[in-house]
């Protein structure tokens, strides 16, 4: 028998040379070679799909990082726009020539109203705990004052505190009641 193919069974040179397609020596069976080529093609397709998915994931990650950076940078934009009306009201009040005390008072009242509207839109709420029980999570005790009110009650507010949604922006500065000192015991 000869190894020369006849006219009816023409084969390509890659099928005749197992080493030409990356088939290890000793694997000359044409069925195994075809199967190996299919597996190699499938592996190449999977590798390509994996590389594309990895690139897409990297792009999504980078876009997410950009979005987060922009959110941090411009987070106060809406609140800043609301504060512009407050600044405008202050400038108008100061620009009034020969303003009387009543005019200045009206301008300050308008400014405070604009500021409160900006706080309301941003959901900033004031904490004014007068006559409430002292809460160390929302109040900062500056002093204790003898009072006829129950001990631990806020009897004076030096400075209001503020909440943003449910987060404390600034604690209220308060004086807390303590029981009056009784007669000294001997």
The series of mean pLDDT values per 10 residues for the chain, 186 residues long, is: 51 48 54 91 96 96 93 85 89 84 87 92 92 94 92 94 93 92 56
Domain-wise residue ranges, the chain: 123-180
Residues 6 or more apart in contact with residue 162 via CB below 8 angstroms? 124, 125, 126, 127, 168, 169, 170
Position 4 scores a pLDDT of 54
Instruction: Tell me 19's DSSP state.
Output: G
Strand arrangement of the beta sheet that strand 167-170 belongs to: 124-127, 161-164, 167-170
Looking at the domain covering 123-180, what would its CATH class be? mainly beta
- For residue 28, the model assigns a pLDDT of 52
Cα distance between residue 143 and residue 157, in whole Å:
11
Phi, psi of 122 (to 5 degrees): -85, 0
Provide the whole-model pTM.
0.58
């Amino acid at each position: 028998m000869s190894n020369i193919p006849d006219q009816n069974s023409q084969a390509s040179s890659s099928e005749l040379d197992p080493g030409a397609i990356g088939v290890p020596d000793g694997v000359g069976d044409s069925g195994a070679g075809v199967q190996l080529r299919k597996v190699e093609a499938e592996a190449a397709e999977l590798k390509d799909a994996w590389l594309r998915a990895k690139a897409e994931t990297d792009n999504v990650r980078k876009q997410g990082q950009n979005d987060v950076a922009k959110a941090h940078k411009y987070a106060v934009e809406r609140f800043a726009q609301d504060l512009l009306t407050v600044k405008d009201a202050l400038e108008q009040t100061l620009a009034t020539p020969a303003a009387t005390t009543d005019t200045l008072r009206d301008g300050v009242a308008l400014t405070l109203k604009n500021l409160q509207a900006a706080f309301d839109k941003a959901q900033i709420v004031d904490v004014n705990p007068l006559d409430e029980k002292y809460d160390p999570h929302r109040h900062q005790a500056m002093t204790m004052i003898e009072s006829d009110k129950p001990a631990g009650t806020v009897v004076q507010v030096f400075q209001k505190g503020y909440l943003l949604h449910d987060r404390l922006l600034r604690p209220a500065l308060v004086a807390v009641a303590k029981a009056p000192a009784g007669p000294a015991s001997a």
